[in-house]
Amino acid sequence: MSNRVAKKITTPFQKFAPNAAVLVINMIDPQVSTMKVFLEAISTAKIPFIAIANKMDVVKKTKLAEIEKTLGLKLTPTSTAKGTGIKKLVTQIEKTFKKGSKIVVLGVFNSGKTSLISCLTGNDLEIGDLPGTTSEFTKHKWGNYTLIDTVGQLIDISKPMMVSVDLSDCKTLDNKIERILRQDAEGILATLEIAVPSIKKGVKILKKQIKAGKKIIVTGAGASALVAMEMAGQGMETGLPILVATNNLAEAQPVSFSKGIAEEEGALARYINFMVNQGDVVIGISASGGTGFVYDTLKRAKKKKAITIAITENSDTPMGKAANLIIKSNAKPEGPSSSKIQVAHLAIGHALIIALADEQGITADGSISYMLPEKVLTKKMGIK
């Protein structure tokens, strides 16, 4: 089984019978709603825990108090990259947890769980900024304790995986459909709470660059490719200079959606960048923020002095780092949630394109004119 699939098929941390937990919060992208789900799981397991605020070296110090207030927790500020705060954490662990404890280290992708374990144990562990670098639960001996490294999501294998909608208490098909539609809507509303300022910036950037004679290029893979194509279609309907390039392979598209065909193909990023000129706006869409050719496309486009925009659920990722502007969704507090993220990203795309079209002065009649057939004479059949 590939890592891409394995990272999504995880067991609940209870399987490892931990009796203590360390919750690692990525202060670059705290994902508060997801942290609350982790805290609920810890509470359900009835185990003592310590919460740390990691990557404090790259955020404003005022952010610590903000997140502490939101979560109602006291956080230990750390930087696993710099090694700061680790001594204080060790003291806390020794005071809080009994000797012999099995400590589960929890947190979202790229929060620094493996980095923390490496700092504590001195082991040279595989660490990277791609979501899913740790693709399975692993145990590490550390003095009187055992540390359990985890993947960046906490889910129950008895519940749906990609959709992450809990239907276990739904008694009828009507109940199931209503639950799914309601949770899709909740994903959009949660995104609305945080995304409006960045969408506004995005509209202004697009308007300015179009006025300067530049174009928009949109890209994504699988489900994100569908969002990219929808954005490009609406853009065409409203007269925007927009192109789209994805890894979807026509009739093979469902395979691309499910298995991520060509996600690692750097040549695809190079190909897409043949379209990119200085000043163009390149929009990359990736729920994880770690889709290979998508973030590579943004990196290459940035080198060509294009403006790059990332639409993503995870901002502290290669794609986030390659973006001049990040438009972040907030749709998946409970784990892998491709369907709800896709709906949220569609809503973000609609907001960008429709608001931009209105800012451009496109009327209903004007929009229809872009949708009418534009026939040109062509050769007769049989003539090569």
Spatial separation of the C-alpha atoms in residues 118 and 132, rounded to whole Å: 17
- Average pLDDT over all residues of the chain: 87
Q: Looking at residue 63, what is its pLDDT?
A: 94
Which range, of 97-106, 148-157, 192-201, 239-248, averages the lowest pLDDT? 148-157
Query: Is-same-fold flag (3-149; 173-371)?
Result: yes
Whether 212 has a pLDDT exceeding 80, the answer reads yes
pLDDT band at 223 (very low <50, low <70, confident <90, very high): confident
Tell me the DSSP string of 138-161. EEEEETTEEEEE--S----TTS-S
Q: What is the mean pLDDT of residues 227-237?
A: 95
Flag the least confident range among 41-50, 126-135, 245-254, 266-275: 126-135
Average pLDDT over residues 63-75: 94
Q: What is the torsional sign of CA 61, 57, 315, 132?
A: negative
CATH of the domain spanning 173-371: 3.40.50.10490
Tokens of 58: 């790259």
CA 145 to chain centre: 33
3-state secondary structure of 285: strand
3 confidence band (pLDDT: 50, 70, 90):
very low
Q: Is 103 in a helix, a strand, or coil?
A: strand
pLDDT given at position 379: 86
pLDDT at residue 162, as a whole number: 44
Angle of CA points 336, 119, 33, to nearest 5° = 30
Q: Is residue 172 pLDDT above 80, yes or no?
A: yes
The answer to whether the CB of 340 falls within 8 A of the CB of 188 is no
Per-domain residue ranges for the chain?
A: 3-149, 173-371
Architecture of the domain made up of 3-149 = 3-Layer(aba) Sandwich (3.40)
State mean pLDDT over 261-280: 94
Asked whether the beta carbons of 164 and 332 are under 8 A apart, the reply is yes
Share of the chain above pLDDT 90, in %: 56
Q: How confident is the model at residue 9, as a pLDDT?
A: 39
Q: Where are the alpha helices (DSSP H) in 57-213?
A: 62-71, 86-96, 113-121, 173-211
| pLDDT on residue 139 | 85
Report the pLDDT value the prediction gives residue 279, as an integer from 0 to 100. 98
State pTM to two decimals. 0.84
Give the residue carrying structure tokens 């490009």. 232
Q: Do residues 116 and 24 make contact, with C-beta atoms less than 8 angstroms apart?
A: yes
Q: Are 191 and 329 in contact, with CB atoms under 8 Å apart? A: yes
Residue 161 has pLDDT above 50, yes or no: no
